[in-house]
Structures are given as structure tokens and as C-alpha cells.
Structure 1
Amino acid sequence: MPRNAKRASSPDPSGGDDARDLYDELTDDLLYDPAIGRSTMMGYPCIRLAGRFLASYDDKAGSLVVKLPGERVAELVRTGTGAEFAPAGKVFREWVAIPTIDPDLWRGLLAEAVTFARTTLTQGR
């Protein structure tokens, strides 16, 4: 299966290597910006913009995890596109997990996360 193909079904519910490969591919595309770099967050691989977390990959669930405005997170959860991100049972209201392996969806949400991170930088949050 090509790296950026949508996965119809999988014996591995986490998405396995395909999801991680997609995360790596899409986040590599963001590294052209010198303000964006790789890091870790609570043991998960992540990317940051000027030191601020903007996205991560949950290797246990095979999900993209992005930081977005709370209203956008609520919308994604309400529509079933995303799920609350709650490591160790604590819900992070500005973070959403996206379990569907969809390159276009992930690319769009990563772009939204970059925009949100830039906004919070300029607002001093």
C-alpha cells in the first residue's frame, strides 16, 4: 500500500506502521520552517513551533494528535472525526486525537495546528 493511501481496514486497529509513516511524512513537510522542530511530549514523538507543542503521534492508538482551539476540538469530537485526547485519564481540551488514517485530513489539521500555534505566539498565550 502506498504511504499516503487511505487504509480501509487493518488487522491492527492502531494503524501500525502506516499511521506512523504518514505522521513522519507529513511532519517532515513542515520542517522547512526553522521555527518547527521535532521533540517529545509525555513520551510521544511531537513537533513544536518556537517551543510550543502543536502535534504529536500516539503510537499506542495509531492516531495523529493535534492542538487546536477548544471549539474546533469539540466540533471534531462531536462529528466523530476525532476523539478526546486524555492520556492517563486527564482530558486536554485543546488537543484532539484523529484515529482515521487519512492523508488529506491529517495534512489539513496539521496546517490548522500550525496556524493556531502561530496565533498563540502573537497573542502571548
Structure 2
Amino acid sequence: MTEDERFEDLVDEFQRLPEVTPPGASRGFGSHALRVHNRIFAMHVRGRLVVKLPKSRVDALVEDGHGVRFDANKGTPMKEWLAVAPDSPLSWAELAREAMEFVVGARKR
């Protein structure tokens, strides 16, 4: 299965949730993103799944070799965004669910 197909499967799973908006609802940055309450929690960029997670969680996943901090081509890696390594055994669905819960929780603060 290609990375594109993996992301399409993820979109199919999450777009069934009433508060989730699938990719294609906007243009530019985030046009290939899953959103919850209009906030991006997972996206497909340069063939990788990119998820928004707490900085401490991103730090741990990077340290364990599951990915790198996402850089939106601005030269500065983002603290709360992880670009998942293509060879990571972690479940994309579980990471996306964790990211969605993080974004929803951040919205409530």
C-alpha cells in the first residue's frame, strides 16, 4: 500500500465523524488535512503523515526514531508537529486519533 493510499484510508475512517472536515475543503496550507472544529490535526505532506501532538510526545517519538519534527519549508521545525517516518510501525489511525484529541483538548483550554 502506498503512503497516498494509507492517507486515503485514514480520511475514509475519520470523515465519518461529524466534527471532522476532510481534505479538500480549503486551498493552500492544510488543503490535504483532516480538521476538527476547523483546526488541522493530521495532514499528508510530501508523502508523510504529519500530526499535531504535545511537544513532549513529539520529542519522545523523534527520540525513538518514529519521525522528525515537521518543517513547513520555513527553516524552523515546529515543536508540536511530527512527520511520521515511512518505516515507523506506529498506527496512523492511532496517531491521528491522539492528534485529534489533543487539538480538541487545546481548543477547550
Alignment TM-score > 0.5, same fold = yes
Cα RMSD (Å): 1.9
User: 8 Å contact 1:22–1:103 — kept in the other structure?
Assistant: no
Q: 1:113 aligns with which of 76, 99, 104?
A: 99
Aligned positions of 1:34-45 closer than 5 A: 34-39=18-23, 42=29, 45=32
Q: Which moved more, 1:81-90 or 1:62-71?
A: 81-90
1:27 Cα shift?
Answer: 2.0
Higher helix fraction (1 or 2): 1
Shift of the 34–43 alpha-carbon distance from structure 1 to 2, 3 Å rule, reads closer
For structure 1, the residue ranges without an aligned partner over 5 or more in a row are 4-17
Partner of 1:68: 53
Q: 2:68 aligns with which of 71, 83, 89?
A: 83
> Within 2, Cα distance between the matches of 1:43 and 1:111?
18
> Within 2, Cα distance between the matches of 1:26 and 1:70?
23
TM-score by length of 2: 0.85
TM-score by length of 1: 0.75
Partner of 1:50: 37
> Within 2, Cα distance between the matches of 1:100 and 1:36?
25
For structure 2, the residue ranges without an aligned partner over 5 or more in a row are none
Counterpart residue type for residue 95 of structure 1:
W
Q: Percent identity?
A: 30
Counterpart residue type for residue 49 of structure 2:
L
